[in-house]
Chains A and B, each alone.
Chain A
Amino acid sequence: EVHLVESGGGLVQPGGSLRLSCAASGFTLSDRYMDWVRQAPGKGLEWVGRTKNKANSYTTEYAASVKGRFTISRDDSENSLYLQMNSLKTEDTAVYFCAGDISGGSWGGYWGQGTLVTVSS
């Protein structure tokens, strides 16, 4: 059974940094595209970024709103995914979800429980 567990959220000041982790189990991370999605309080879902699988050289893509500030990485030996967030803004306040290939085929659509990031002074 696929499980995704995020951690690392918390309160950070504007301009600060935070690193989120996502521990994956039940599948081999290197085989899969993985996504980060966020949800601001009371708002809808916003795609943050994606890392392709090993076969596609782990290429990453980002939403315009986070490009240049956020970086997705993975450690396949730990079966873990990461989201490094720098130069945080108040508008980055959201629950951040790690997800498995949300737009793909029969494998995919898996979500973690989310971790809350609050950017405030």
Chain B
Amino acid sequence: DVVMTQSPLSLPVTLGQPASISCRSSQSLVHSNGNTYLSWFQQRPGQSPRRLIYQVSNRDSGVPDRFSGSGSGTDFTLKISRVEAEDVGVYYCLQGSHWPPLTFGGGTKVEIK
């Protein structure tokens, strides 16, 4: 199974400042079809998860452009250019290139300093 490792576990940020979350996979996430199925999800307190990014860098509809995804192979990053209060929550990466099983990272908790 592909292991997804996120860091940091907790990320205190100042409003208006940037934030960055890392996600590393135990093997390359390049699928045999050439695509890389790495997604990012946001889960606000008390809510269902919401997908922000699919296939490394594509923003889902309605996602603010302050969220961006990048990376390749085994190394991926979610960046928030300027953190807002509504960005508080837990962020998860997910790989879908080599399944079953689909595997999530352990989560990164973003909080305001």
Contacts and interface: CB of A to CB of B under 8 A. Distances in A.
Interface of A: prevailing SS: loop
Interface in B31-72: 37, 39, 41, 43, 48-51, 54-55, 58, 60
Contact of B100 (A62, A102, A114): A62
- A-B CB proximity, top 10 nearest: A103-B96, A109-B51, A61-B100, A47-B102, A111-B48, A45-B104, A44-B107, A63-B101, A103-B37, A44-B106
Contact of A102 (B43, B96, B106, B107): B96
27 contacts: A35-B102, A44-B106, A45-B41, A45-B49, A45-B107, A46-B104, A47-B103, A50-B99, A61-B99, A61-B100, A64-B101, A102-B41, A102-B96, A103-B39, A103-B54, A103-B94, A104-B37, A104-B54, A104-B96, A108-B51, A109-B39, A109-B41, A109-B60, A111-B48, A111-B51, A113-B48, A114-B48
Contacts, number: 70
Contact of A112 (B37, B48, B101): B48
Interface residues of B, number: 26
B92 interface: yes
A97 interface: yes
B100 A109 contact: no
Contacts of A103: 37, 39, 54, 94-96, 99, 102
A111 B41 CA distance: 11
A109 B101 CA distance: 17
A105 B53 CA distance: 10
A105 B92 contact: no
Most buried by A among B39, B41, B100: B100
Contact of B58 (A37, A47, A106, A111): A106
Nearest to B100: A61
Given A103-B39, A103-B96, A47 B51 contact: no
